[in-house]
Amino acid sequence: MAYKLGIIGYGGMAGGYHIGTVRREDIPFEPAAAFDIDPARLAEAEKAGLKAYSNLDDFLAHEGGYDLVLVATPNNYHCEMACRTMEAGFNVMSEKPVAISSDELQKMIDTSEKCGKLFTVHQNRRWDRDFVMIRQAIAEGAVGKPYMIESRIQSPNGNGDMYNWRGMKDHGGGMLLDWGVHLLDQLLWLIKEPVKSVSANVFPLWSEEVDDYSKVIITFESGLVAQMEVVTYSPIALPRWMVYGDRGAMTMQDAGDAKIKVRRIKKDENVVIDVPAYVDHRMITRKQKRHFIEEFEEFEAPETVPNNDWGSVYKNLAGVLAGTEELIVKPAEVMRTFRVIEAAFKSAEEGVTVRF
Ligand code: NAD
Q: Is a pLDDT exceeding 90 seen at residue 201?
A: yes
184 contacts 131 by C-beta, under 8 angstroms: no
Domain 3-122, what fold? Rossmann fold (3.40.50)
Give, using CA atoms, the residue closest to atom 8 of ligand 1: 11
78 contacts 99 by C-beta, under 8 angstroms: yes
Tell which wins on pLDDT, 39 or 284. Answer: 39
Of 19, 36, 125, the residue with max ligand 1 atoms within 8 A of its CB, to mutate for a pocket test, comes to: 36
* pLDDT for 162: 76
Query: How do the domains of the chain map onto residue ranges?
Result: 3-122, 134-250+330-356
Q: Across the chain, what does the average pLDDT equal?
A: 91
pLDDT band at 202 (very low <50, low <70, confident <90, very high): very high
- Superfamily for 134-250+330-356? Dihydrodipicolinate Reductase; domain 2 (3.30.360.10)
Mean pLDDT of 313-342: 98
151 contacts 186 by C-beta, under 8 angstroms: yes
| Distances in whole angstroms, Cα of residue 198 to Cα of each of 104, 148, 333, 355 | 21, 14, 17, 7
Query: What are the φ and ψ backbone dihedral angles of 41, each rounded to 5 degrees?
Result: -75, -35
Task: Report d(CA 200, CA 197) in Å as an integer.
Answer: 10
Task: Report d(CA 187, CA 325) in Å as an integer.
Answer: 23
- Ligand 1 in contact with 31 (CB < 6 A)? no
Query: Edge-to-edge strand order for the sheet containing 68-71?
Result: 51-53, 29-35, 3-8, 68-71, 92-95, 119-122
Q: Is a pLDDT exceeding 80 seen at residue 275?
A: no
Q: Is a pLDDT exceeding 60 seen at residue 257?
A: yes
Q: Which of 125, 204, 201 is nearest to 158 (CA)?
A: 204
Q: Percent of the chain beyond pLDDT 70?
A: 90
Question: By mean pLDDT, which of 36-50, 255-269, 312-326 is the weakest?
Answer: 255-269
Mean pLDDT of 120-136: 96
Kind of pairing between the strands at 259-265 and 248-252? antiparallel
Of 54, 58, 73, 127, the residue with max ligand 1 atoms within 8 A of its CB, to mutate for a pocket test, comes to: 73
Mean pLDDT of 26-46: 98
* pLDDT for 88: 98
Residue-wise pLDDT tens digits, 109-126: 999 999 999 999 999 999
68 contacts 91 by C-beta, under 8 angstroms: yes
pLDDT band at 206 (very low <50, low <70, confident <90, very high): confident
Kind of pairing between the strands at 354-355 and 195-203? antiparallel
Of 42, 81, 95, the residue with max ligand 1 atoms within 8 A of its CB, to mutate for a pocket test, comes to: 95
* pLDDT for 131: 96
Tell which wins on pLDDT, 280 or 272. Answer: 280
* pLDDT for 1: 75
pLDDT band at 276 (very low <50, low <70, confident <90, very high): low
* pLDDT for 267: 59
pLDDT band at 292 (very low <50, low <70, confident <90, very high): low
Question: Is there a shared CATH topology between the 3-122 domain and the 134-250+330-356 domain?
Answer: no
* pLDDT for 285: 55
* pLDDT for 65: 98
Name the amino acid, one letter, at 77: Y
Distance (Å) from CA 176 to ligand 1 centroid? 17
Mean pLDDT of 228-240: 93
Name the amino acid, one letter, at 134: I
Q: Which of 49, 53, 48, 39 is nearest to 8 (CA)?
A: 53
Mean pLDDT of 191-214: 94
240 contacts 152 by C-beta, under 8 angstroms: yes
- Count, in order, helices (H) and strands (E) of the chain: 11, 15
* pLDDT for 157: 76
Give, using CA atoms, the residue closest to atom 11 of ligand 1: 38
Q: Which atom of ligand 1 is nearest to the CA of 81?
A: 19
* pLDDT for 303: 75
- Ligand 1 in contact with 212 (CB < 6 A)? no
Task: Report d(CA 253, CA 47) in Å as an integer.
Answer: 41
Q: Is a pLDDT exceeding 70 seen at residue 277?
A: no
Mean pLDDT of 3-23: 97
